[in-house]
Every structure is written in structure tokens, then in C-alpha cells.
């Protein structure tokens, strides 16, 4: 890999800033000052330092964001703040994108990565990756609804696969239910449309898990963290290397 590309991909600035860094003589390869912008670097064996600090190259990055409401699952948008804007400019060199979509008002687990292969696998309908959501519902969710979800619902343009619906609690007075639903596909507005089909409305929706990844309670809304080694290993069947 070219030296300027390596430094740009490890967060040392834009290509222009990186060029200035190299020509200023603070970059060394195997202890020798290197001022050649396009110098070839062997990622696996050369030791590159900037101001005596070693440079660690990573091809792929993986983050879990607890997405807040009000931002969209996209990389850029003319009208709305995106999940990538939310992370801020320090992350731009990673070229992350959201793996899948959550609606603007949906909160919870969103995987951000720059690994396109992995995203493709996790989102492939063939892989039947589980997604678990918690929701507050307007209406009282009944045994019939649970049965209808388990059979699959005719949503006009497609019939949903069987989904597992669990009622945590209901309140007749306020006409509310608190539920958990697990689906193994991910069509646009799927959970909302499934509830609409049984005459109810999703008031809040939060994703709790996606495949082997779980959102833990202590990751506050709006916060993110890198995947743990255990989580990365759990993604091996989906192309994590
Ligand atoms: N289903 C929905 O309706 N919305 C989401 O954001 C995710 C699943």
C-alpha cells in the first residue's frame, strides 16, 4: 500500500494533510525517515511511525451504535442528519456505512462497518438473520395477534415469514401493550406494517439484537463502541475475517 494511502486510512488526515506530514520528515519506515509520498509499504512487515508513534493498519472497522431517534440510517443526506454525521469527522477515514436500515424514529442497535462483504451476508434474505425489537403498541396485543404473526401476515406486496411475538405487559386503561418481536427478514417498515395489519400502531420501536449482536443496557442512546473480539468471532459465519 502507498504510504500516503496508509496514513489517510489510519486517521492521519486528508490525502493533502498526509502529504504535508510525509514531506515534513516525521514519518519513518523501519526507522528510516521517508519523504516519498507514494512509497510502497508492506503492511504485514514494515514498521511505520509518525512522530515516533507506531501506525496500526486495520482494513475493516466494526461499531455498534445505539441509534437515537431523529437521525437516518444513511451515509449522506441533504435534509437529515445521518448516523455517519452523528459519529463526527474523526471517523470519516474509516468509510463506515450502516449495515441495514432503521427508520428515523427507530432507536437501538445499528452495526456500522466498512466491510461490504459482511454487510451483504448479514442482509441477505437467504441467511435469515434474526432481528429482535422491543415496542410500545397502541392497542391490546392478543393471542390472535401472536398466532397471526407466527403464521406470517399478508402485507399486500409480500407475505411475511413467521415472526415470534411476545407480550411483556398490557394496560387496558391507556390501551397500550409492551412487546418483543423477532423477525428473520427485514423489509421496509416491516414491524410497523405487521402491527398495522392486525389493527394496531407501533408507538416506539427499539432494536435489541441483530444476529449474534446484542444491545446491552449500559450503551446509552446515541453512544457507540467497537465490537468486542467475541462479537467479531461470532460474525465469522457472515464473512468476518
Ligand atoms: N421495522 C420497522 O417498521 N422499522 C424499523 O426501523 C425496523 C423494523
Give the domain CATH number at 26: 3.10.290.10
Domain boundary residue among 38, 54, 70?
54
Predicted model pTM:
0.92
**135 and 205 fall within a common domain:** yes
Cell 503492511 locates to: 43
62 — pLDDT class (breaks 50, 70, 90):
very high
pLDDT category at 241 given cuts 50, 70, 90 is: confident
Read off the pLDDT of each residue in 100-121 and give the average, rounded to a whole number.
97
The answer to the question of residue 140 being in a domain is yes
Phi/psi of residue 52, each to 5°? 70, 5
Contact (Cβ atoms closer than 8 angstroms) between residue 110 and residue 185:
no
Which of the residues 103, 105, 154, 157 is marked catalytic? 103
pLDDT at 239 over 90: no
Same-domain check for residues 121 and 229: yes
Q: Which pLDDT does position 80 carry in this prediction?
A: 97
Print the domain residue range for 175: 130-210
**Same-domain status, 39 and 79:** no
Rounded distance between C-alpha atoms, residue 198 and residue 142, angstroms: 10
Q: Domain check: are 144 and 201 in the same one?
A: yes
Res. 151 pLDDT band, cuts 50 70 90: very high
List residues near ligand 1 (CB under 6 A).
102-103, 106, 189-192, 205
Strand runs labelled E in 107-220: 107-113, 131-138, 164-171, 176-183, 201-210, 213-214
Residue scoring higher pLDDT (98 or 14): 98
Contacts of 175 (CB under 8 A, 6+ apart): 138, 139, 140
Would you say residue 233 lies in a domain?
Answer: yes
Q: What's the 121 CA to ligand 1 centre distance in angstroms?
A: 19
> What's 94's domain CATH number?
3.30.70.580
Mean pLDDT, the chain, integer: 96
- Mutation test residue for ligand 1: of 189, 201, 208, the one with most atoms within 8 Å of CB: 189
Residue 15 vs residue 54, higher pLDDT: 54
95 & 134 share domain? no
| Domain membership flag for residue 28 | yes
Distance CA 69, CA 106 (A): 6
Ligand 1 mutation target, pool 205, 208, 209, most atoms within 8 A of CB? 205
Asked if pLDDT for residue 225 goes beyond 80, the answer is yes
Q: Let me know whether 87 and 38 are in one domain.
A: no
As for how many domains the chain has, the answer is: 3
**From 9-13, 37-41, 45-49, 128-132, the region with the lowest mean pLDDT:** 9-13
The yes-or-no answer on residue 103 being catalytic is yes
* 121, part of any domain: yes
Cell of 108: 437501538
In a domain, 118, yes or no: yes
CATH classification of the domain holding 141: 3.30.70.1560
Beta strand segments in the chain, E:
27-29, 32-33, 48-50, 53-54, 62-67, 97-98, 107-113, 131-138, 164-171, 176-183, 201-210, 213-214, 224-226
Are both 198 and 156 inside the same structural domain?
yes
Same-domain check for residues 144 and 186: yes
Q: Let me know whether 121 and 227 are in one domain.
A: yes
Alpha carbon nearest to ligand 1 atom 3, residue: 189
Residue 194 lies in a domain: yes
Q: Are 96 and 161 part of one and the same domain?
A: no
215 in a domain, yes or no? no
In terms of domains, do 120 and 153 share one? no
CA atoms of 23 and 26, how far apart (whole Å): 8
Residues 139 and 205 occupy one common structural domain: yes
pLDDT reported for residue 15: 87
Question: Higher pLDDT residue, 72 or 217?
Answer: 72
Examine the pLDDT at 86 and tell me if it is beyond 80. yes
Amino acid at each position: 500500500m502507498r504510504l500516503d494511502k496508509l496514513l489517510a486510512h489510519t486517521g492521519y488526515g486528508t490525502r493533502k494533510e498526509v502529504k504535508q506530514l510525509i514531506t515534513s520528515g516525521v514519518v519513518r519506515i523501519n526507522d528510516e525517515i521517508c519523504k516519498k509520498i507514494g512509497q510502497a509499504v508492506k503492511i504485514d512487515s514494515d514498521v511505520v511511525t509518525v512522530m515516533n508513534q507506531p501506525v496500526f493498519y486495520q482494513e475493516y472497522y466494526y461499531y455498534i451504535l445505539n441509534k437515537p431517534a431523529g437521525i437516518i440510517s444513511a451515509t449522506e443526506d441533504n435534509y437529515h442528519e445521518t448516523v455517519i454525521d452523528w459519529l463526527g469527522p474523526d471517523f470519516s477515514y474509516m468509510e463506515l456505512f450502516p449495515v441495514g436500515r432503521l427508520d428515523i424514529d427507530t432507536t437501538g442497535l445499528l452495526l456500522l462497518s466498512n466491510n461490504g462483504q459482511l454487510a451483504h451476508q448479514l442482509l441477505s434474505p437467504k441467511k435469515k438473520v434474526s432481528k429482535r425489537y422491543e415496542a410500545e403498541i397502541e392497542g391490546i396485543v392478543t393471542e390472535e395477534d401472536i398466532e397471526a404473526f407466527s403464521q406470517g401476515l399478508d402485507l399486500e406486496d409480500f407475505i411475511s415469514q413467521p415472526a415470534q411475538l411476545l407480550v411483556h405487559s398490557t394496560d387496558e386503561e391507556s390501551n397500550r401493550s409492551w412487546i418483543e418481536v423477532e423477525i428473520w427478514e427485514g423489509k421496509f417498515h416491516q414491524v410497523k406494517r405487521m402491527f398495522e395489519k392486525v389493527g394496531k400502531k407501533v408507538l416506539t420501536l427499539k432494536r435489541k439484537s441483530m444476529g449474534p449482536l446484542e444491545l446491552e443496557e449500559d450503551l446509552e442512546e446515541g453512544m457507540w463502541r467497537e465490537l468486542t473480539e467475541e462479537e467479531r468471532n461470532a460474525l465469522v459465519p457472515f464473512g468476518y475475517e
